[in-house]
Amino acid sequence: MKFATKAVHAGVEPDPSTGAIMTPIYQTSTYVQASPGNHKGYEYARTQNPTRNALQASIAALENGKHGFCFSSGMGAIDTVIKLLNPNDEVVACNDLYGGTYRIFKRVFEKYGIKFHFVPMDKAENIRTFMNSQTKLVWIETPTNPLLNIIDIEAVAKIAHEYGTLLAVDNTFASPYLQTPLDLGADIVMHSVTKYIAGHSDVVMGALVTNHDDLAQQFAFLQNACGAVPAPQDCFLVLRGIKTLHLRMQAHCANGEKIVQFLQNHPKIDKVWHPSLPSHPNHDIAKKQMRGFGGMLSFTLKDDSVATAIKVLENFKLFSLAESLGGVESLCGHPATMTHASIPKAEREKAGLKDSLIRLSIGIEDAEDLIADLAQALG
């Protein structure tokens, strides 16, 4: 099936008992058994839930994967991946990444003896210096958060596999509509489902997808054993959101490129970060591995002060100042004090994240209205 057809149909079947076209919300904690171990495939809702199963099958299909697993948050999904590792194992991660990912790596798992290296990956070969027999995982985001760096998934996968190392890709910014990392050699795809996949700012959820049967068995074990599972109502909402993912992403991308052009020509703007720009250092890679450039962008002002950036953020009327991204409404944020505040200032600056940087999540409103709001906020 093509993507739009998968978005509407994959993983979803009419309810056999009633013919309901939408997957029911199986709001139950347990299931009746005829005798011990004699049941209909369901024992306890932490282990399995029919609504969650439908969603997991849908997300796996969108990523061209065999196995999908949903968690109560994106961080729950990341936590599950790192729990595959043992003390003295090493992880090579991109140096521009979500602050919550950096925090769980450094402040949670590092104290259990796992070593993390944060490496600029604009060139895939940069990771070779850090690869060794202890390297068990390479972790990348592409596009990255918040500098929209593009990493060559296929090239990184090739190097990682030379060392027998797994490659995990956080595909949140692109969504499976724009990019399918498993097709490019990744072993694991992670999503903050909260963002584009759910798409309506009303759910917190994470997901993992893989084609490896052995990884799927481990993820299923950890999902059940550690218990970070999403509620049936949330799974229902995401199943509903997925049905319009392709339409929403088309609008996000179209609006994003119009706003990029507006900002590029604005006298108060210093720099714009978006992979659609020919000046983007890995623009050609983005064209190769993505089917569009997305609705996320960042920019800095010529007046490079935090105070000026905050004033702009406070001036918005349509753009809402809020954490998160990927919803139908447009959001603005200040990574240094919001999404990336958990990363030390020195580390942020080393990655190129200035304190004055503003990140935008472009929604599906009329582009002219969004541009007018940007114009008045910039002054």
Q: Which residues are catalytic?
A: 46, 98, 170, 195
Q: Are strands 90-94 and 135-141 parallel, antiparallel or unpaired?
A: parallel
Q: Using CA atoms, how far apart are residues 346 and 342, in angstroms rounded to an integer? A: 12
Give me the phi and psi of 191, to 5 degrees please. Answer: -130, 140
Handedness of CA 290, 79, 136, 214 (dihedral sign): negative
H or E element: which one contains 141?
Answer: strand 135-141
Residue pointed to by tokens 């720099």: 271
**Distant-in-sequence contacts of 365-369, Cβ < 8 A, 24+ apart:** 365/255, 365/318, 365/329, 365/330, 367/254, 367/255, 367/258, 367/259, 369/318
Spatial neighbors of 225 by CB under 8 A, at least 6 apart, are none
Specify whether the CB–CB gap between 130 and 92 falls below 8 A. yes
Q: Using CA atoms, how far apart are residues 233 and 26, in angstroms rounded to an integer? A: 8
Query: Partners of 93 in the beta sheet?
Result: 118, 139
Q: Using CA atoms, how far apart are residues 116 and 305, in angstroms rounded to an integer? A: 32
H or E element: which one contains 239?
Answer: helix 232-242
CA distances to 177, 308, 359 from 248, rounded to whole Å, are 10, 32, 19
- Three-point CA angle 350, 356, 362, nearest 5°: 105
